[in-house]
C-alpha cells in the first residue's frame, strides 16, 4: 500500500502576528501562494498520491484552499483536530485512514527546497518503525536533536540542555504501521501537556519499543516561523526583484529587491525593499526596508 501523506496545519502562528491575525497558518502567503500549497507539492513530489490535511475545529478555510491547490493526480481530504492537543493528537485525528499505512507527516510551515523522495523511499524500504528528516542547526538547544550512527537514530531529545549533536528535526516525521499503533496505545503527554510526535518517538526509542532511522536532508530547510524568517525565505525563493500580482495597482513606486505584492493591493508613491504586502492592502507615501503589510494596512517591522 502506498504511503499516506498528512499535513498538520494547527498552531496559532503568534510569531507571525500581525500578518497571521484572523488567518490560519496554512494560508500565510509566500510568493503569493499559501503555505499549504508548498506542503502539498513537497509530499506529491515524493510519489505520494493521497494526502490528509488536518485542520483545527474552527478552521473552515484551509480545506477548500488545499483541495484547490491539490497537485495533479493527488487526492486531498481533510480531518479535524477538535482541540489543539499537539502534533501526535493531530495525526491520530486522521482516524482509520492510518490503518496499515506508512505515513509521512509534515508541519505546514516546513518548507524544503530539494527532493524529499530519497528519504521516503529509504524509509519505506527499511525495517525501521519511524524515520526523521534532519538538518544541521546552530540552535540545538531550541530544537529536537538527534544522535545518528549511519542511518540509525541512537538518541532523540527535544530541546536538550546539553546537546550531543547539531542534527535537528525539520518537522517531517515518518511512521510505519507499528509506530502508528504505538502512538494510539501510548499517547504520551509532553512536558507541555500535549501529545507530541517527537516526544512519543523519543519514549518509543528509549523504552525499546521500536527503532528509528534518519538522514540529513541534502537540500535547503527554509524557515517561515517569524516575519523576519518569512522574508528571508521569500528572498531565497524569489528570482526577480519584485513579484507583483496582476491585479495590484502600483503608482509612482519603486519596488525591490525582495518585494512581493499581493492580489488587489494598492501602492501609491511607495519605495520598498525586503517587503511583503498582503492581498488587498493599501499603502501610500511610504519608504521602508524590511516590513510586512497586512490586508488591513498594519505595517510591521520584520
- The domain 238-301 having CATH identifier 2.160.10.20: the answer here is yes
**Domain boundary assignment for the chain:** 4-223, 238-301
Helices H / strands E in the chain, number of each: 7, 20
Q: Is the pLDDT of residue 50 over 80?
A: yes
Largest CA distance in the chain: 65
Per-residue pLDDT, 163? 93
Q: What is the pLDDT of residues 179-202, one digit of tens each?
A: 999 999 988 887 778 899 999 999
Average pLDDT, integer, range 166-181? 97
Looking up cell 541512537 gives 154
CATH second-level architecture of 4-223?
A: Alpha-Beta Complex (3.90)
Per-residue pLDDT, 188? 80
Q: What is the pLDDT of residues 12-38, one digit of tens each?
A: 788 899 999 988 999 999 999 999 999
Q: What is the pLDDT of residues 81-128, one digit of tens each?
A: 988 899 999 999 999 999 999 999 999 999 999 999 999 999 999 999
Mean pLDDT of the chain: 95
Q: Is the pLDDT of residue 150 over 80?
A: yes
Per-residue pLDDT, 192? 78
CA distance 214 to 111: 18
Let me know if the fold of 4-223 is the same as that of 238-301: no
Amino acid at each position: 500500500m502506498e504511503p499516506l501523506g498528512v499535513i498538520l496545519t494547527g498552531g496559532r502562528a503568534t510569531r507571525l502576528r500581525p500578518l497571521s491575525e484572523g488567518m490560519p497558518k496554512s494560508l500565510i502567503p509566500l510568493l503569493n501562494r499559501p503555505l499549504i500549497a508548498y506542503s502539498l507539492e513537497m509530499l506529491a513530489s515524493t510519489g505520494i498520491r493521497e494526502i490528509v490535511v488536518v485542520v483545527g475545529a474552527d478552521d473552515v478555510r484551509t480545506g477548500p484552499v488545499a483541495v484547490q491547490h491539490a497537485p495533479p493526480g493527488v487526492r486531498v481530504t481533510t480531518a479535524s483536530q477538535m482541540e489543539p492537543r499537539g502534533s501526535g493528537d493531530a495525526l491520530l485525528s486522521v482516524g482509520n485512514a492510518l490503518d496499515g499505512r506508512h505515513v509521512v507527516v509534515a508541519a505546514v510551515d516546513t518548507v524544503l527546497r530539494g527532493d524529499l523522495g530519497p528519504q521516503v523511499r529509504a524509509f519505506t524500504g527499511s525495517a525501521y518503525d519511524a524515520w526523521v528528516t534532519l538538518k544541521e542547526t546552530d540552535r540545538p538547544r531550541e530544537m529536537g536533536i538527534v544522535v545518528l550512527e549511519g542511518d540509525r537514530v541512537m538518541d532523540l531529545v527535544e530541546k536538550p540542555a546539553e546537546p550531543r549533536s547539531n542534527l535537528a528535526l525539520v518537522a517531517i516525521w515518518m511512521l510505519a504501521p507499528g509506530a502508528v499503533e504505538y502512538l494510539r496505545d501510548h499517547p504520551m503527554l509532553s512536558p507541555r501537556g500535549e501529545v507530541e510526535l517527537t516526544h512519543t518517538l523519543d519514549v518509543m526509542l528509549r523504552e525499546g519499543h521500536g527503532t528509528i532511522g534518519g538522514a540529513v536532508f541534502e537540500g535547503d530547510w527554509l524557515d517561515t516561523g517569524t516575519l523576519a524568517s518569512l522574508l528571508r525565505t521569500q528572498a531565497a525563493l524569489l528570482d526577480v526583484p519584485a513579484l507583483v500580482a496582476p491585479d495590484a495597482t502600483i503608482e509612482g513606486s519603486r519596488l525591490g529587491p525582495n518585494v512581493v505584492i499581493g492580489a488587489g493591493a494598492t501602492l501609491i508613491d511607495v519605495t520598498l525593499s525586503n517587503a511583503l504586502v498582503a492581498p488587498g492592502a493599501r499603502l501610500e507615501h511610504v519608504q521602508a526596508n524590511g516590513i510586512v503589510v497586512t490586508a488591513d494596512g498594519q505595517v510591521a517591522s520584520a
